[in-house]
Amino acid sequence: MAELLHTLLKISLVIFMAGNLLGMGLRLEWGAAVVGLRNLRFVGLSLLWCFVLGPAIAYGLTKVIPLQAPYAIGLILVGMTPCAPFLPMMVERARGDLGYTASFMLLASVGMVVYMPFAVPLLVEGLSVSAWIIARPLVSVVLLPLLIGMVILRRAPASAARAQPVVKKITGIDTLIFLGLCLVVYGKGFIGSAGSYATLSQFIFYAVVTAGSYALAFGLPQNQKSVLGLGLCTRNLGAAFAPLFAVAGADERAIVMVALGVPLQTIAALIAARVFGARADAGGAAAGEVRA
């Protein structure tokens, strides 16, 4: 029974990842993404925070906070996988720039596929896995579905518009199944993580990367800063799971650490979106007073 549940969990993870990235591609217009990609400051800051500072902060926290090794592995993997598929929803709440959101999502998705196969063996101690074993699921369930969705949107916009809500509904149902299976399979692990600093370390990570990327985004307007901050606050946890499920015998506590990111990043992102939205409203009101 336990083996069947693990198999179902892996199948639901594949659907979760591929469905989310396909849905992202079906609404990720190339023209909108290109606008942000032409802004070298935004691209540079995004890549710096996504694939240098973000992972470095996660790695540094594992050296400062007394986490058990499997939880540390989970935190580092979370630190390598920026940008959840629900980022546009959060940016909209924050009055951010949705065009630049498309650019960020494209940079983060492609960047993970290139970055993780080399960074995971280097940074994650205790996870012996080759670059190709990491790259294979990322290419098949992250990059390929994203590109398929973008091609459909570009070549057949009407078909993309019809497909997008169907994909969203199927992925939403699968997400609930995936979370339910996580609770069944790893329920004891969630309880066992209490007192392990797992939750605290993730909240610190989300707070530091969100506030840091927003505050240090010099030269960007507020609505682009919020894209950067929320892009770093949210995490593509499916990509973080991929290396753990790709190897046999991964410690359950590492998987639990990544799974904890589902509720924790959602809470952090909602708080950040509210703060950024309030700043956007305040800035708009101030601009209105100046014009008056």
**Whether the predicted pLDDT of 282 surpasses 50:** yes
Over residues 55-83, mean pLDDT: 94
pLDDT per residue as tens digits for the range 114-128: 899 888 888 777 666
pTM of the model: 0.87
The pLDDT of residue 102 is 86
Structure confidence at residue 128 (pLDDT): 64
For the segment 153-157, the average pLDDT, to the nearest whole number, is: 89
Q: Write out the two tokens for 77.
A: 């993997």
Q: What is the DSSP letter of 251?
A: -
Q: What pLDDT is stored for residue 51 in this prediction?
A: 96
CA proximity to 94, closest of 284, 273, 285? 273
Residues 263 and 274: their CA atoms lie apart, in Å, by 17
pLDDT exceeds 80 at position 241: yes
What is the model's pLDDT at position 192? 83
CATH architecture of the region 2-280: Up-down Bundle (1.20)
Mean pLDDT of 202-207: 97
Compute the distance between CA of residue 50 and CA of residue 108 in angstroms, rounded to an integer. 7
- Residue 196's contacts (CB-CB under 8 Å, 6 or more residues apart) are 67, 68, 71, 253
Q: For 78-105, write each residue's pLDDT tens digit.
A: 999 999 888 888 999 999 998 899 899 8
The confidence band for 283, taking pLDDT boundaries of 50, 70 and 90, is low
Beta-carbon contacts of 279 under 8 Å, excluding residues fewer than 6 positions away, are 222, 226
pLDDT of the residue at 194: 82
In terms of Cα–Cα distance, which of 275, 266, 279, 281 is closest to 87?
A: 266
pLDDT of residue 129: 66
> Can you give the residue ranges of every domain in the chain?
2-280
pLDDT at 290 over 50: no
Residue 227 structure tokens: 């894209």
Predicted pLDDT at 190: 83
> What per-residue confidence (pLDDT) applies to 196?
85
pLDDT at 64: 95
Give one DSSP letter per residue of 126-146, joined into a string.
T----HHHHHHHHIIIIIHHH
Mean per-residue pLDDT, 164-174: 90
Token pair for 200:
């605290």
Residues 196 and 189: their CA atoms lie apart, in Å, by 11
The overall average pLDDT reported for the chain is 87
Q: Are 256 and 186 in contact (CB under 8 A)?
A: yes
Given a cut of 90, is residue 20 above it in pLDDT? no
